[in-house]
Structure 1
């Protein structure tokens, strides 16, 4: 594979720029075709900005939920302890100014790292041309913003074009009152009454964040519960927290349309009910950016949903063409996109590579509390796909949780009967995204619950609950 030296990457998100760095390190001539800025939607309109917004919301929630219990007294013009009025407020304009500033700064840092590695960045929209030359190379046509075109020749192509928000025909975002998640950061004032349509990860995260920031939130879910794709026990905890904090959660309620009426928004449900708010966030999924990219004409097979079919090393059905990220329909996570891109380049350039193993992928829902998962799930156990022992330990028993006023959450670990090898875990807690890592290491290293239980933890610490859950599993006669 030494002859493979020219690599063209269409898309500059995590799958694209991580692949570019690997390919450059391996000595390839790398060109990234990017339209909006390196980092892609993950950095500019999705992961980085949303988690920056949520960081502010976390501070608000942590203070609101525990300041009285922790003995913090409101003074200097703030409401007196015991009054119903809120202690803190938020300037959404300043919050969003910081959000967009950090996103641009992160994109700039990525661009600097990529160009410093010797990667060429070309602005424009990339299209894969059909057919291969006799030497196996492929052509990519780049159309710039001014309409001019140029052709790039590549020995290998990586498609990492990402996705965009799905829309309902009768609920088109206008960027002012009816919004998708890329438009929220242009708001200068906090929505008084926010209707969130969609109870998946994106809907739940923004519903929880805006409730914490001070909006009155109604969450419209077409399913039986919030986060239908997550661990049911974790989803129940989160929905209970949402309701306790004042959110109106409408289960089994499908939105049919949303329209503006002056400075209000009316959302009509399939059963005829009408909900009124000042703003509406449409969070009803995403569509892959695969249309118009010349993929099918070039021999790249797509699924019925428009995603690119790939194998474990990110190959598509077209020779010399790989794909990574949200356009593939594999876990819509920046970490997975980056891994897919790196694996693609290792494989393309002849390096040894291990195929993508989704059972070692850790994921997190950035609500409050957070929900982190890795490995096999409760659904796998309930549906008979895997035989496992399960122990769940409520977080309220943890001494550090008591000290911090944390009552909601748990640690759940799955292990193989007999051997006790850890095969899955769920953590529902503040900073669950940090706490899941020991479970991820255990799964990746085929560690037993005995090994996890033997490892020292700090006392007191939330991570102590992970060791205690492992001890309980080990103590069940494994």
Structure 2
């Protein structure tokens, strides 16, 4: 590295996913000179291999689910024939357009884009291997936003053929006759829902004793009931011993000795941080026991280096990464000096049924020595849920000293309630606050109002 070939920026961001994008844009708006480095496709995992393609798939097939629901009441009949190759083509069109838009937005803000692999050289320089050779970059501050990737336990690694991870399964162009989901969390449930709509026979193997194991137990119960109605086979509290592929199918063996076969297996057992080749050994960054980059209360990983989004393991969510990225850009620009605070974190599971969570759950309050109080409303009484013939589910409000401290919901379309629920928790609404606004009728939103006004009981 020689000085005449070195370019300098106030801020260099490695990774162009939601966190890196938000950080770079906010920093440029704050008047800093900014560069962003990306070794793969612009937009990171969320745009290319996560949030966006999965929601595109679920949105395109929602009509299949709604037709099935209406047909149970003998209101509609017929069939919908999915075209997976066409859907894959549509996915690429949407993603390409989004990547082009992202590139243009960087140009408009004067953000320099370096497409290549970054390696930390020392405390103030990185080297980027571009297609036409290396480029040395000096930085005032460095933000690591390299995200996460699917992870698997030893012996359960995907082979890219019959055994797939959440990246590989998104590229299938043939509908599998059967699919085993190893993991009943968010990723498994959402992708399982998509393939179930295409006609694939679904089996779920979950090591813990319930689906969506980190959600409210009543949410897990409702999701399981609806999956069983659609003939999903649920093997809960079961651990996988081994996986292997043959020319005809994938074979899974449980620790109990039971053997299962399917066209494909999706390994959805979690995600781990990505920093291979980054040269963390050249920095003072350290890892926690899970392998994520340790940060302080300002999201700083070392002098002049910050780690945001999935990389620090605080919340593996695109919106969490964006929020952290904007905060770090403001810290670097001197716009704030306060420690980072996310506020109530909204969580969603998409598909059918959807679920949301923000703030505390009853078990969280008990762990804090508090006595949870709950009010609840069944979506069976909501006219919009009834209109869609998808009235299963509920909204649950958690109270502490007369103030809302948590909202959980499961059912048709409840993801559309998440921002309102987040405001309710963030602002610690009381009963009186529910009457400050007019709630439109008929809407799904008013189910929140009915849940707030319902009788409160200790749980």
Shorter chain as normaliser: what TM range?
over 0.9
Q: Please list every run of 5 or more consecutive structure 1 residues that lacks an aligned counterpart in the other structure.
A: 75-86, 132-137
Find the aligned partners of 2:337 and 2:377 in 1 and give their Cα distance. Answer: 38
Q: Please list every run of 5 or more consecutive structure 2 residues that lacks an aligned counterpart in the other structure.
A: 1-7
| Matched residue, 1:383 | 367
Which of 128, 149, 156 is the aligned partner of 1:142? Answer: 128
Find the aligned partners of 2:114 and 2:385 in 1 and give their Cα distance. Answer: 50
Q: Please, what is the CA RMSD of the aligned residues?
A: 2.0
Residue 5 to residue 91, structure 1, CA distance change in 2 (3 Å) = closer
Q: Is contact 1:415–1:423 with CA below 8 Å preserved after alignment?
A: yes
Which of 362, 365, 375 is the aligned partner of 2:346? Answer: 362
**1:176 CA drift (Å):** 2.9
Q: Is contact 2:382–2:391 with CA below 8 Å preserved after alignment?
A: no
1:326 aligns with 2:310: yes
| Matched residue, 2:4 | none
Find the aligned partners of 1:446 and 1:394 in 2 and give their Cα distance. Answer: 23
3-state SS, counterpart of residue 454 of structure 2: helix
More strand per residue: 2
Q: Is contact 1:289–1:327 with CA below 8 Å preserved after alignment?
A: yes
1:23 aligns with 2:9: no
Q: Alpha-carbon deviations, 1:232-252, whole Å to 9, x = none?
A: 111110011101111001111
| Matched residue, 2:411 | 429
Summarize the alignment of residues 195-274 of structure 1 with structure 2, pairs less than 5 Å apart: 195-274=180-259
Which of 132, 153, 156 is the aligned partner of 1:171? Answer: 156
| Matched residue, 1:282 | 267
| Matched residue, 2:115 | 123
**1:353 CA drift (Å):** 5.8
Residue 354 to residue 204, structure 1, CA distance change in 2 (3 Å) = farther
| Matched residue, 2:3 | none
Summarize the alignment of residues 400-439 of structure 1 with structure 2, pairs less than 5 Å apart: 400-417=384-401, 420-439=402-421
Q: Is contact 2:379–2:391 with CA below 8 Å preserved after alignment?
A: yes
Q: Alpha-carbon deviations, 1:286-340, whole Å to 9, x = none?
A: 1101243222431112112211112343222x11111111111011110000111
Residue 90 to residue 354, structure 1, CA distance change in 2 (3 Å) = farther
Q: Structure 1: which 4+ aligned runs deviate by more than 4 Å? A: none
Residue 29 to residue 70, structure 1, CA distance change in 2 (3 Å) = farther
Find the aligned partners of 2:35 and 2:205 in 1 and give their Cα distance. Answer: 43
1:65 aligns with 2:69: yes
Paired residues, what number? 451
1:47 aligns with 2:47: no
Q: Is contact 1:15–1:325 with CA below 8 Å preserved after alignment?
A: yes
Summarize the alignment of residues 30-109 of structure 1 with structure 2, pairs less than 5 Å apart: 30-69=34-73, 71-74=75-78, 87-109=79-101
Residue 453 to residue 231, structure 1, CA distance change in 2 (3 Å) = farther
Find the aligned partners of 1:222 and 1:360 in 2 and give their Cα distance. Answer: 29
**1:161 CA drift (Å):** 0.5
**1:186 CA drift (Å):** 2.1
| TM-score, normalised with respect to structure 1 | 0.90
| TM-score, normalised with respect to structure 2 | 0.93
Residue 66 to residue 382, structure 1, CA distance change in 2 (3 Å) = farther
3-state SS, counterpart of residue 209 of structure 2: coil
Q: Alpha-carbon deviations, 1:156-188, whole Å to 9, x = none?
A: 000001011113443332323211111123211
1:13 aligns with 2:5: no
Find the aligned partners of 1:476 and 1:276 in 2 and give their Cα distance. Answer: 46
Q: Is contact 1:427–1:436 with CA below 8 Å preserved after alignment?
A: no
